[in-house]
Amino acid sequence: MTEQGQYARYREDSTVLAAIGDSIAPEVRLVCVRLPVALAEAAVAAWNRDETGELGAESPEQYALRDRAAELALIGLAVSERGRREGDVVVVELPVESVAAAIQAAGR
């Protein structure tokens, strides 16, 4: 079965978007952000959680929730390794993928 019309264009658009990503990825690896202390601490707590139980079958929604929790934990790792407190915020350089995941989770 071949793709027709708009979906063929969407596939081409997806290829162009990936090429843009390949082009800019070397330029944008880390983004310096300022997180409220409470959010930084919550991220570190997510990193420190021990999640050793086996997973059963997941619905798409459950998978998405677990994926977001994993992204939060990775932000917590970055905060614990290289975050520095400045008053009521923690300044940390995050991988651009983590920044994008947080923005996407916020619905923006």
Please identify which residue in the block is written with the tokens 């997941």: 58
Model-level pTM? 0.81
The 10 Å Cβ neighbour count of residue 75 is 27
Q: Does the structure show a pLDDT above 60 at 1?
A: no
Distance CA 72, CA 44 (A): 8
Condensed to tens digits (0 to 9), the pLDDT of residues 67-82 reads 999 999 999 999 999 9
Query: What number is the average pLDDT over the span 42-71?
Result: 91
Based on its alpha-carbon atoms, the radius of gyration of the chain, rounded to whole angstroms, reads 18
Query: What number is the average pLDDT over the span 24-46?
Result: 95
Question: pLDDT above 90 covers what percent of the chain?
Answer: 79
Q: Does the structure show a pLDDT above 60 at 92?
A: yes
Strand locations in 1-108 (E): 30-36, 84-86, 89-95
